[in-house]
Structure 1
């Protein structure tokens, strides 16, 4: 998995790209990529989204 703090929209291979937590599509070279980060059970959790619509649909 790619470092979540990196620029995902630049030169990311589809096999290493994060998948959208809503639709499951790989997020490759997408400037619309969104990430939500939170702390749960004393560890950092992240959710990746291919765009704002998928982010808003995520529960």
Structure 2
């Protein structure tokens, strides 16, 4: 898998792309990609989002 913190919005294969936590779409070549990280039970967790609207919808639940 590609390092999700890298500048990977170019030339990324869909099979290696992270999926949007809200809508489930693969995030390929999306400069609007957003990521949230947090600590839960001493483990780093992360969630990826296509854009700000998916992030906001996930955040509101």
Name the TM-score class by shorter chain.
over 0.9
Please state which structure has a larger fraction of its residues in helix. 2
Three-state SS of the structure 2 residue aligned to 1:15 is helix
When the two structures are superposed, what TM-score results if normalisation uses the length of structure 1?
A: 0.92
When the two structures are superposed, what TM-score results if normalisation uses the length of structure 2?
A: 0.90
Number of matched pairs: 59
Q: Which ranges in structure 1 are unaligned for 5 or more consecutive residues?
A: none
Give every structure 1 segment of 4 or more consecutive aligned residues whose post-TM-superposition deviation is greater than 2 Å: none
1:8 Cα deviation from its structure 2 partner: 2.5
The aligned counterpart of 2:15 is 15
Q: Which ranges in structure 2 are unaligned for 5 or more consecutive residues?
A: none
